Amino acid sequence: MKQDIFSDIKAFAFDIDGVFTDGSILAMPDGDLLRTFNTKDCFAVRMAVDAGYPVAIITGGCSNSLIFRAQSLGVRKEDLYQMSKDKETDFLLFCRRHGLKAENVAFAGDDLPDIPAIKAAGLGVCPADAVPEVKEAADFISPFNGGRGCIRHLIESVLKEAGNWAFDPHTPWTGNYPEEIMKLGLTTGKHLK
């Protein structure tokens, strides 16, 4: 597959379970559902946000910890769609909200509810361990599994194609950090702006 499939992408939308994570969920006694995120995938999301790419999370799941993680990556509150059953509609709403054509947005999913959004996106992506129906619908199958580098591979490919894959340690993160993270940063002597 040619690298130029990444050249027209201006934004990203992701499912969570099985894409951002390996699909495992830990159910807590208080009802919250905990997930494990790959730090390399998360770093790539922060790089995309810092480079000006809108990022959405469109998931059928719902939890407080998911809200917290999305905010810490710089995903705007209005671009987090929880309890989404009709992911294509939410995907198109995200596109309209940012003035984007669907053909300029990548969507990554791994299971049956993701297929309509994968088909609506300009670049439909799935991890290597997606279900067969999703692999058939996707334009690009990552060589990496969900929660194991799939997101990093996609974002890095797009940003490198556009010349935007560069880390500047002197520029503050643009993430919309929750108050708890800001307090923690201040207590450790790190000042997040």
- Give the pairing type, strands 33-34 and 123-126: unpaired
Q: Note the pLDDT tens digit of each residue in 13-59.
A: 999 999 999 988 888 898 888 888 889 999 999 999 999 999 999 99
| Any domain includes 189 | no
User: Nearest CA to 91 among 14, 178, 172, 2?
Assistant: 14
Q: Note the pLDDT tens digit of each residue in 125-136.
A: 999 999 999 999
| Any domain includes 174 | no
Residue 31 sits in a domain of what CATH number?
Answer: 3.40.50.1000
CB 179 within 8 A of CB 164: no
User: How many domains does the chain divide into?
Assistant: 1
| Any domain includes 183 | no
| Any domain includes 1 | no
Taking residues 57-77, report their average pLDDT: 89
| Any domain includes 191 | no
Structural domain that includes position 74: 7-168
| Any domain includes 187 | no
| Any domain includes 58 | yes
Q: Which pTM value belongs to this model?
A: 0.87
| Between residues 172 and 77, the one the model is more confident about | 77
| Any domain includes 82 | yes
User: Nearest CA to 15 among 152, 100, 98, 111?
Assistant: 111
One-letter amino acid for residue 6 of the chain:
F
User: Nearest CA to 19 among 120, 140, 162?
Assistant: 140
